């Protein structure tokens, strides 16, 4: 394995004590997971039914009935299982474990003699299975269930679900593969690839890695499998995307741009990065870097949202980032964080952690209400409720989080990411520990042969001071690498009270030498309010600025600043203030500033007129974290604000 | 009839000598009308077939076959007939007349014993006629054919087509009407209403006016006819528009906003204005004014385009005017000019003529190539070809005019408007002649009991000096009312060489008193280049300006100014120059100015960054008339340009 590769420190070795993320983990445990269990059992009043448990019970022969819901319905249960498993790591819970074991019973009973397990085809006709892998999500569901099985095994040591899923994998590898007589196909919705690598990391069985690699390398090869299928099943997707929708128009190593359905893309790229690392495949790693750059340097919102268009829930083209018509699916931002973590494992570069942080602190958790029981599927950066009501082009944009969705991929995805946040904080290799996020936490790792606990304390993201303490039975030699975030212009670092100026490498302050029990690092990052601007190629943001403080993107909401937020201009001298407000939105730093607002009389002087100076009046603006918008009722919101040029 | 009502001076009394419009009339006569006759006969290579003549031949029993094309296919032929008839007024042509008479033969043979004439139902089953007036356009087709019949009668005195259409009207009034046993319906696509008033103006038969008034007043009455039909036929239009799409959700007198399909709306409002005038119905006139204001003060583009969304080809809501995703159908701008002319007849206000001029000189003729044989259906104000290719939200926007369309409403509509432009120039009443447009022309009218010819000379819209000469066998008393356009800030007027300062009334300079043969007025309007801005409620135009000179809206094209037009800023000191260029785009005044353009290095510094002054370099800009864009190949175009504030 290459020297630069790192490994994410697993959940079992990280205890998150962070007030910020700790709150979300608690929410996952006490609200999201129990609420979603009710949803999966169709017991949430006034919400669309899930049918998940119903389908498994019927497939297990325990209930009469037929398959209900989407073709990928099983995956909602899988993601919930995975999230519940993560929750058990930090908070063992016999009752929850028993619930999961009941589901495993259902899985066991539903599994077919040859290992097949997908309730859609078990209930709709086994003769049709594997006839439409482009659209019918069998491998997608298997991948999610496999991730759940790995997570549950890692959380509890119980291997019953894992064994079920290994049988599923063996069945799949009897159907697909390079050998003669097997189908030369690959998942229509990627996911199984990354799950197979996770399985391989548990089993060490090279067949599991090989199958992941096969799916990745076979994708987009001539003759195109999905075109062959289409000759029987008919075409799937009209319009300009074609097989790009599935990232399947050409081999992944030849793909230059992040194209098509953005969640599919992130899951594929995550699988590619994992395979590249496990196989040391530099060409595949280069493809990952290319697609990473396409995604994050030309096609990503400032919140870490991706997917500019509802059509295909997809990327469009470089720098096309409309703030109101965005898709920006919660799952896609989660996928971006997953991809980023794997890129960090390929090479520890601050750029990857910057994007991971951007997504997690903004565009991921914007999908979740502060109460934990309402969800956004689409995460716009600019909302005018009237426009969403009256303009069909915005029909996909909700201006209020929903209880559940008929296609409910996002809510359980939020459950699994919030309950596994500890997984994103640290990466390590033999000679170094990288601190990627500044969530308060304890990390138990072996460094220089010594079992070490590194504790991070602080009040991130609201304050920029982080204290890291080393606890070890003996001294050891290692590098502690502290990420200096892209948002941070100035910082100071002390080691046991003395200022140090360590070398900076790819965005990390590299502190090496010998470490002793009780050694303390204090990283003090200045966290002023910053005005941000977009690349001038982003047409939608020309003449506008956004406000950030630390990793947090702010927005203006109607409740604080009135209607017609687009009439506001941020003046050159903004006079920013930042203040902790414990009773606001669960406790946030709110920002105040000067603003200029077009006066009413300007609205009354005709539709088109001779250009003249526009009259504006001074107003006070109040900015709140974007992720927390729409927790105080319905109203306008905007991230990008018209601004005087500096 | 109310004193303030005026009448448009008809085509037969106006000879257009204008180089600008004369060119379009000539194009209509020599290119558009012959080309479209070929299209209607399916003889244009590589263009979608029209099927119009085919359908009539089959309906007439002269050919075997079945109905082809859209349910409203007959209307394409009707609009062509109307345009051809107008052309005969200024340019008699026996061959064209014979062609039209051949069509009349077909109509005569196709007409059913009870007067019915619509090839769709004649060929698809007469038992189904009048079962779906909401969607199936029978009355729309009848209305267009009726307009053609009136125009042909007025052009030639031949009444055969008129008689055929009167029989159609009699049939329709046997099916629909307030009397017991008749259907309480009205057209799904308005058009017949305004056509019936034109018929009434020829026949003087009060039944014709009464039927128009019935259709207008019955529209939207409870129980809603289209809802009754839907109980049998099923719902038509999903989504937020509902029956607003048809302007049929409530009685027209109660409607507050210009809603729904924009062409339908314009044709309805035109019919309403005509009925209001002919019946002296002040309540209906007030409804027209309300809908006029909604359309032109809150929902119209600077080019006179209307219809902000492809969804329903419709209006959306106030001040929602996206420049790239616009629908802006050519037919809708034509409809707006039709509505404006009728509002002028209700009351001679410069506001109406301003909008009429705005539409005719910009958003109408932008639909037509300078060669006369390529057409835009959608008229965007901002185009990036790459975006149209890659963004499904722009799939309706062509960045190149097309040869023909499967649904080809716009091309023959352009034929009829360009060949009847003389109709829009003058309105009169007993005591006054209103000059609404400054197209060079001769107008023969009776004023103060004396037959008078008023000749307008000039080089409008490129020059602001207009010379009006009176020619009369004896002196007469009247008012000559010269419109002072909204675009004009300063002007001078002389009467027989002496400066005069006449009273200004509703945007018209009112010159009264006695007039003698040879009297001459010279109106000298300053025509500088003007920077325009939109109401600050138009979100899409915030921070932008547009350039106009006289009535002409200008744009930047890639061929003159390079790609990425959105990187251009119009500086405070623009240094505009205007120059006649006879070889450019058929002869136009082109505008030059200073510009600032974001430098390349700004594009290379990341997707999001700390706000800083943006580096720009000085460039020369060249502006051309918007209507003439895309006549020099494919490229970007924009009307609204980012601008330094004044």
ipTM entry = 0.95
Which residues in chain A show pLDDT less than 70?
1-2, 237-239, 406
Q: Would an 8 Å CB–CB cutoff place B286 in contact with chain A?
A: no
Find out whether B539 and B325 touch, Cβ atoms under 8 Å: no
Question: What pLDDT is attached to residue A239?
Answer: 65
Distance of CA A301 to the CA centre of its chain: 13
Count how many Cα atoms sit within 13 Å of the Cα of residue B379 in the half-sphere of its side chain.
32
> Does A610 contact B643 at a Cβ distance shorter than 8 Å?
no
* Interface contact B236, partner A, CB < 8 A: no
CA distance A301 to chain B (A): 9
pLDDT at B1 over 60: no
Q: Which of B302, B312, B390, B487 to mutate to test the interface with A (most CBs of A within 10 A)?
A: B390
What is the distance, to the nearest Å, from the Cα of residue B597 to the centroid of all Cα atoms in its chain?
A: 36
CB distance B533–A646 less than 8 Å? no
Segment A446-449 long-range contacts (CB within 8 Å, at least 24 positions apart): A447/A472, A447/A476, A447/A478, A447/A515, A448/A476, A448/A477, A448/A478, A449/A476
Question: Are B105 and B56 a contacting pair, CB within 8 Å?
Answer: no
| Residue in the block written with tokens 């022309």 | B441
Of A300, A309, A546, the CB nearest to B391: A309
Give the model confidence (pLDDT) of A26-63 as tens digits.
Answer: 999 999 899 899 999 999 888 888 899 999 999 999 99
**Coarse DSSP helix, strand, coil percentages of chain B, rounded to the nearest 5 percent:** 40, 20, 40
Strands A568-570 and A588-598: antiparallel
Picking from B241, B614, B646, the nearest residue to A611 by CB comes out as B646
Q: Is A313 a catalytic residue?
A: yes
Task: Print the SS3 string covering B62-117.
Answer: CCCCCCCCCCCCHHHHHHHHHHHHHHHHHCCCHHHHHHHHHHHHHHHHHCCCCCCC
pLDDT band at B46 (very low <50, low <70, confident <90, very high): confident
| pLDDT at residue number A238 | 58
Q: Which residues contact B309 (CB under 8 A, 6 or more apart)?
A: A391, A392, A393, B315, B316, B320, B325, B327
Residue B177 makes CB contacts below 8 A (sequence gap 6+) with B211, B214
Cβ neighbours for B253, distance < 8 A, ≥ 6 positions apart: B217, B283, B284, B287
What is the spatial distance between Cα B462 and Cα B590, in angstroms, rounded to a whole number?
10
- Three-state SS at B183: strand
Nearest alpha-carbon partner for A381 in A95, A627, A155: A627
Q: Which residues of chain A have a CB within 8 Å of the CB of B296?
A: 607
From chain A, the residues in CB contact with B531 under 8 A are 610-611
Q: Find chain B residues with C-beta within 8 A of A239's C-beta.
A: 392, 395
Say whether A117 sits in a helix, a strand or coil. coil
The domain B7-424 having CATH identifier 3.30.1360: the answer here is: no
Query: Would you place residue B238 in the very low, low, confident or very high pLDDT band (cuts 50, 70, 90)?
Result: low
Q: Which of A409, A410, A443, A555 is catalytic?
A: A409
Q: Which of B181, B170, B171, B164 is nearest to B126 (CA)?
A: B171
Tokens of A408: 């409910």
pLDDT at B236: 73
Write out chain A residues lying below 8 Å of B530, CB-based: 610-611
Q: How far apart are CA A524 and CA A641, in angstroms?
A: 30
3-state helix, strand, coil in chain A (%, to 5): 40, 20, 40
Query: Residue A167 is encoded by which pair of tokens?
Result: 């049988």
Nearest to A525 by CA among A461, A572, A583: A461
Q: Given a cut of 90, is residue B47 above it in pLDDT?
A: no
Q: What is the pLDDT of residue B2?
A: 67
3-class SS of residue B269: helix
Q: CB contact, 8 Å: A324 with chain B?
A: no
The minimum CA-CA distance between A293 and chain B, rounded to whole Å, is: 11
User: Measuring CA to CA, which residue among B366, B378, B359, B333 is closest to residue B627?
Assistant: B366
What's CA B573's distance to the chain center, in Å? Answer: 36
Output the average pLDDT for chain A. 96
Nearest CA in chain A to B240: A390
Domain boundaries, chain B: 7-424, 426-525, 529-643
The DSSP symbol for A527 reads: -
Token pair in block for residue B46: 């590589």
Neighbours of B135 (CB within 10 A): 15
CATH architecture type of domain A426-525: Sandwich (2.60)
CA distances for B475 relative to B375, B450, B519, angstroms: 48, 8, 10
CA of A294: which chain B residue's CA is closest? B607
The answer to whether B612 contacts chain A (CB < 8 Å) is yes
pLDDT at A46: 82
Q: For residue B386, list chain A residues with Cβ-Cβ distance below 8 A.
A: 317
Residues of B in contact with A610 (CB under 8 A): 489, 530-533
Residues B218-245 have a mean pLDDT of 88
Give the closest-approach CA distance of B404 to chain A in angstroms.
Answer: 21
**In this complex, is the C-beta atom of B566 within 8 Å of any C-beta atom belonging to chain A?**
yes
Instruction: Give the integer Cα–Cα distance in Å for A117 and A138.
Output: 9
Using 50, 70 and 90 to split pLDDT, how confident is the model at B237? low
A236 DSSP 8-state letter: -
Quick check: B409 pLDDT over 80? no
Cβ pair B628, B589 in contact under 8 A? no
How far is residue A379 CA from its own chain's centroid? 13
Enter the tokens of residue B236. Answer: 């038509």
pLDDT of res. A289: 98
Query: pLDDT at position A240, please?
Result: 74
> How far apart are alpha carbons A571 and A569 in whole angstroms?
6
* The predicted structure's pLDDT at residue A190: 98
CA–CA dist B71, B88 (Å, integer): 29
Catalytic residue among A313, A351, A557, A567: A313
Contact status, residue B94 vs residue B102, Cβ threshold 8 Å:
no
The tokens of A601 are what? Answer: 């009389």
Q: Which of B444, B290, B399, B268 is nearest to B339 (CA)?
A: B268
The CA radius of gyration of chain A, in Å to the nearest whole number, is 25
φ, ψ dihedrals at B554, nearest 5°: -100, 165
Evaluate whether A126 touches A112 at the Cβ level (below 8 Å): yes
Question: For residue A423, what pLDDT is reported?
Answer: 97
Q: How far is B614 from chain A (nearest CA, A)?
A: 8
Distance, in Å, from the CA atom of A567 to the CA atom of B361, rounded to the nearest integer, reads 31
- For residue B510, the Cα-to-chain-centroid distance in whole angstroms is 28
H/E stretch holding A506 reads none
User: Is the confidence at residue B323, as pLDDT, over 60?
Assistant: yes
- B643 contacts in chain A (CB < 8 Å): 611
Name chain B contacts of A598, Cβ cutoff 8 Å.
Answer: 536
pLDDT given for residue B266 in this prediction: 98
Give the pair of three-digit tokens for residue A103.
């589901």
Q: Which of B308, B382, B536 to mutate to test the interface with A (most CBs of A within 10 A)?
A: B536
Interface residue A489 vs chain B (CB under 8 A): yes
With H, G, I as helix, E, B as strand and everything else as coil, classify residue A157: coil
Whether pLDDT at B121 is above 70 = yes
A565/A559 Cα distance (integer angstroms): 11
Chain B interface includes A26 (CB < 8 A): no
Strands (E), A368-460: 382-383, 426-429, 432-435, 441-447, 450-458
What integer pLDDT is reported at residue B260 of this predicted model?
96
CB < 8 Å from A in window 373-402 of B? 386-387, 389-393, 395
The answer, for B646 touching chain A at a CB cutoff of 8 Å, is yes
Predicted TM-score (pTM) of this structure: 0.95
- Give the active site residue among B288, B409, B443, B555: B409
Q: What would the pLDDT profile of A466-503 be if each residue is shown by its tens digit?
A: 999 999 999 999 999 999 999 999 999 999 999 999 99
Spatial separation of the C-alpha atoms in residues B161 and A588, rounded to whole Å: 76
Chain B residue with Cα closest to A539:
B566
Binary contact (A543, B543; C-beta < 8 A): yes
> In this structure, how many other beta carbons lie within 10 angstroms of the beta carbon of residue A396?
18
Rounded Cα gap, residues A67 and B556, in angstroms: 58
Percent of chain B at pLDDT exceeding 70: 99
Residue A266: CA atoms inside 13 Å, Cβ hemisphere, count? 29
Element (H, E) at B208: helix B206-218
Is B534 near chain A, with CB under 8 Å? yes
Distance (Å, rounded) from C-alpha A458 to C-alpha B565?
47
Q: How many CB atoms lie within 10 A of CB B600?
A: 11
Residue B104: the pLDDT is 98
Name the closest residue on chain B to residue A311, using Cα atoms.
Answer: B392
Residues of B in contact with A614 (CB under 8 A): 533, 536, 645
């Amino acid at each position: 394995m290459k020297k630069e590769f790192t490994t994410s420190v697993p959940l079992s070795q990280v205890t998150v004590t962070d007030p910020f993320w700790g709150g979300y983990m608690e929410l996952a445990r006490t609200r999201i997971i129990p609420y979603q269990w009710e949803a999966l059992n169709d017991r949430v009043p006034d919400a669309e039914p899930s049918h998940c448990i119903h389908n498994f019970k019927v497939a297990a022969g325990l209930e009469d009935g037929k398959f209900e819901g989407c073709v990928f319905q099983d995956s909602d249960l899988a993601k919930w299982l995975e999230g519940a498993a993560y929750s058990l790591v930090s908070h063992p819970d016999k009752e929850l474990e028993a619930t999961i074991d009941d589901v495993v019973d259902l899985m066991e009973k539903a599994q077919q003699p040859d290992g097949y397990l997908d309730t859609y085809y078990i209930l709709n006709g086994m003769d049709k299975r594997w006839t439409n892998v482009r659209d019918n999500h069998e491998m997608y569901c298997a991948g999610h269930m496999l991730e759940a099985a790995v997570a549950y095994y890692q959380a509890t040591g119980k291997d019953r679900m894992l064994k079920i899923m290994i049988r599923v994998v063996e069945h799949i590898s009897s159907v697909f593969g390079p050998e003669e007589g097997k189908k030369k196909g690959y998942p229509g919705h990627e996911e199984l690839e990354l799950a197979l690598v996770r399985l391989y990391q548990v089993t060490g069985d090279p067949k599991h890695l090989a199958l992941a690699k096969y799916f990745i390398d076979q994708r987009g090869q001539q003759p195109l499998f999905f075109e062959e299928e289409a000759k029987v099943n008919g075409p799937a997707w009209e319009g300009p995307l074609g097989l790009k929708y599935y990232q399947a128009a050409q081999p992944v190593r030849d793909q230059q741009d992040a194209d098509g359905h953005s969640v599919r893309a992130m899951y594929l790229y995550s699988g590619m990065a994992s395979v590249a690392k496990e196989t040391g495949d530099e060409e595949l790693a280069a493809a990952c870097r290319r697609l990473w750059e396409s995604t994050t340097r030309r096609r990503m919102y400032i919140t870490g949202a991706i997917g500019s268009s509802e059509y295909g829930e997809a990327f469009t083209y470089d720098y096309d980032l409309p703030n109101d018509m965005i898709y920006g699916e919660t799952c896609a931002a989660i996928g971006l964080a997953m991809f980023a973590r794997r890129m960090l494992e390929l090479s520890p570069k601050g750029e990857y952690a910057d994007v991971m942080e951007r997504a997690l602190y903004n565009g991921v958790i914007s999908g979740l209400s502060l109460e934990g029981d309402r969800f956004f599927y689409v995460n716009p950066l600019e909302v005018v409720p009237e426009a969403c009501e009256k303009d069909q082009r915005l029909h996909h944009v909700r201006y209020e989080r929903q209880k559940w969705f008929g296609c409910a991929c996002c809510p359980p995805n939020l459950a699994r990411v919030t309950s596994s946040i500890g997984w994103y904080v640290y990466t390590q290799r033999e000679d170094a520990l990288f601190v990627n996020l500044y969530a308060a936490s304890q990390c138990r790792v072996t460094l220089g042969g010594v079992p070490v606990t590194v504790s991070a304390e602080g009040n991130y993201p609201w304050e920029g001071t982080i204290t890291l303490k080393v606890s070890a039975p003996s001294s050891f030699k290692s590098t502690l690498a502290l990420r200096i975030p892209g948002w941070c212009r100035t910082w100071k670092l002390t080691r046991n009270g003395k200022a140090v100026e360590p070398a900076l490498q790819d965005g990390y302050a590299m502190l090496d030498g010998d470490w002793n029990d009780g050694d303390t690092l204090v990283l003090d990052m200045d966290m002023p309010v910053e005005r941000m601007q977009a690349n001038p190629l982003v047409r939608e943001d020309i003449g506008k600025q956004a406000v950030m403080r630390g990793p947090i993107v702010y927005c203006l909401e109607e409740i604080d600043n009135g209607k017609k937020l687009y009439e506001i201009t941020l003046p050159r001298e903004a006079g920013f203030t930042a203040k902790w407000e414990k009773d606001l939105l669960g406790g946030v730093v709110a920002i105040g500033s000067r603003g200029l607002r077009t006066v009413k009389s300007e609205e009354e002087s005709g539709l088109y007129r001779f250009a003249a100076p526009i009259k504006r009046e001074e107003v006070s603006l109040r900015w709140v974290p974007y992720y927390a918008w729409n927790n105080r009722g319905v109203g306008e919101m905007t991230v990008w604000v018209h601004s005087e040029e500096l």
